[in-house]
Amino acid sequence: MSKSVTFKLDGKSISFQPGDTVMDAALRAGEYIPHLCHNPEFKPHGSCRVCIVALNGRHLSACTLPAAEDMDIDNSSDAIVEQRRKLLQMLFVEGNHICPACEKSGACQLQAVAYYTRMLSPHFTHFFPRRAIDASHPDIIFYFNRCILCGLCERASREVDGKDVFSISGRGINSRIVFNSATGKLGDSQLAITDKAVSVCPVGAILHKHQGYDKPIGERLYDTRPISVVGDVAANLATGQPHKSDERNE
């Protein structure tokens, strides 16, 4: 029998398999590392940086960091949490994340990770962008102001749906999602309500029309348990278990 190889995550031994990233092994072990652009069903994107951890004084993304024996990883020091909080604050001010008015409130990973990191204010000056909504599709509505450019819809559409409906265009502050259709409108694309790409958005950027606020406050995904326990639904399905509870948020 081969010897189990492990690394340390906040002092706990985590077993890993060849090819695992730190995120893969942590999720399988039921340990939560905050993340937004990561979904275990897809190749890592490494863009949101919310999964930042410290290894030998360097800050690295856990979703792209290959697991190696005897690594000693810091996933929860004040410095790491503060760094994540700053990244989240930047995401909040760059878009218009008006949580009380958003249909995804209570089930939004951006909101839930912000609670987890104890983000109490946006800190930075709001950009208040004025990006149009695309409501041209009969079943789906797209809110550009809520998109955090995680690339999950792009990956899902290409890798699972085989359609390439979404892609990220532009650079830096001008980056945005564009739709693959003759008119550039979502309604003229091949997107269907049953597509995987419609269900992977971690925020309220891609929503079903004719359905909103369907769960009352108190019954929404993250109302009673924090994201460190619930995880994201995709991660739970992929690892076959919920995350272990995190004392800091119980």
Name the residue nearer to ligand FES (CB basis): 27 or 36.
36
- Contacting ligand SF4 within 38-97 (CB under 6 A): none
58-91 exposure pattern, b = at least 16 Cβ within 10 A, e = fewer: eebbbbbbebeeebebbbbeeebbebbbebbbeb
Instruction: Among 73, 107, 149, 186, indicate the residue that binds ligand SF4 (CB under 6 A).
Output: 149
Report how far residue 50's alpha carbon sits from residue 58's, in angstroms, rounded to the nearest whole number. 15
Contact 88/52 with Cβ under 8 angstroms?
A: no
Question: Is residue 151 part of the contact set for ligand SF4 (CB under 6 A)?
Answer: yes
Q: Quick one: which segment of 48-56, 91-99, 125-133, 233-241 binds ligand FES (CB under 6 A)?
A: 48-56
Residues 50-79 that bind ligand FES (CB under 6 A): 50-51, 61, 63
Q: How far is the CB of 224 from ligand FES (least distance, A)?
A: 24
Interface region with ligand SF4, contact rule CB under 6 A, candidates 60-68, 92-100, 201-209, 227-235? 201-209
If we measure between CA atoms, which residue out of 50, 53, 9 comes closest to residue 29?
9
- Binds 46, which of ligand SF4, ligand FES, none (CB < 5 to 8 A, cut-off by type)? ligand FES
- Nearer of residues 36 and 207 to ligand FES, judged by Cβ: 36
**Angle, vertex CA 47, rays to CA 176 and CA 243, nearest 5:** 120
